[in-house]
Chain A
Amino acid sequence: MDTDMDMDFDTLAEDADADATLAGDSGGEAERYDAAEAEADLLRDRLRLAVISIATSEGKKAGMTVADPVVACIADLAFKSAEQLAKDAELFAQHAGRKSIKMDDVILTAHRNEHLMGLLRSFSQELKGKEPASERKRKKSSKKDDRVIDV
């Protein structure tokens, strides 16, 4: 198992090298598909960096150090779940007849886990509270008016 992980790291490093060379002669015959793949790899690496900082600080809170393969695995899973989240949120928005994702779409993707949904709800409430925008208030009041009319 350990050897497998090492091998994964090697291939990852090779991928990174390949990206570097690809970026060098991107003006050439690089196909659109390859460009998209390269972009995906770049995003995956950026996400991994973010996951590393979050995971190590979280480990520190628990008084533990986190082994590198663990962080790499979590980063990979985080990327996959981000992809899934994008799909779900898009589908929910489409279902609502919208082209833009709203907070509720994201919260709805967590509907299987009530606790998680509660956490996200309170987070979104916090966000709403932070926003000073008068625009939001206007929207809210107009919504209320609508409701009154509906009732």
Chain B
Amino acid sequence: MDEDPTTGNSPAAETFDPDLIHAIFKLVWRRRAEKGGGGNEDIDVEPAPETSRRNRRTTANASALKVSCELLRIFVTEAIQRAAFIAEAEEATVIEPTHLERVLPQLLLDF
């Protein structure tokens, strides 16, 4: 139908940036490593990996990041598609928070 130049430019624009996801991952890992050092975790059997090899933190390879991006992209598109389905049933043209609310429980169970 009507081609919108802002959205129809490239398929690459419709997924996440692996670098961004990597940055988020690193943040979480750093946070977890610090928490583990604080002695909060007694489940961890290994005696604090960051003391033995401090420079070796968890890393991710490029394809793993791409798959992560895909997973998050699917999450977002599923959320929109399911909400759109509800909105369509109510003959609305705008996806409102109430539509999202209806699909949220199942969506969160599915991911």
Bound complex: CA A12 to CA B14 (Å): 25
Interface bits A113-125 vs B (CB < 8 Å: 1, else 0) = 1001001100110
Which residue of A has the minimal Cβ distance to B57? A99
- The segment out of A15-23, A62-70, A139-147 that lies at the interface is A62-70
**Number of B residues, CB within 8 Å of A:** 55
Q: Contacts A5-B97, A50-B17, A54-B15: A77 and B63 contacting too (C-beta < 8 A)? A: no
Contact (Cβ within 8 A) A50 B20:
yes
What's the minimum C-beta distance from B103 to chain A, rounded to whole angstroms?
11
Bound complex: CA A81 to CA B61 (Å): 19
Bound complex: CA A130 to CA B22 (Å): 21
Contact (Cβ within 8 A) B64 A90:
no
Contacts of B57 in A (CB 8 A): 99
B51 at the A/B interface (Cβ < 8 Å)? no
Contact (Cβ within 8 A) B64 A102:
yes
Looking at the complex, which one of A36, A55, A116 makes contact with B76 (CB distance below 8 Å)? A55
A39 at the A/B interface (Cβ < 8 Å)? yes
Contact (Cβ within 8 A) B76 A99:
no
Contact (Cβ within 8 A) B16 A59:
no
What's the minimum C-beta distance from A33 to chain B, rounded to whole angstroms?
9
Contact (Cβ within 8 A) B79 A77:
yes
Bound complex: CA A131 to CA B87 (Å): 40
A30 at the A/B interface (Cβ < 8 Å)? no
Interface bits B15-28 vs A (CB < 8 Å: 1, else 0) = 11100110111011
Contacts of A149 in B (CB 8 A): none
Sampled A-B contacts (9; CB under 8 Å): A39-B27, A43-B23, A47-B24, A58-B81, A74-B79, A86-B28, A109-B71, A123-B70, A124-B63
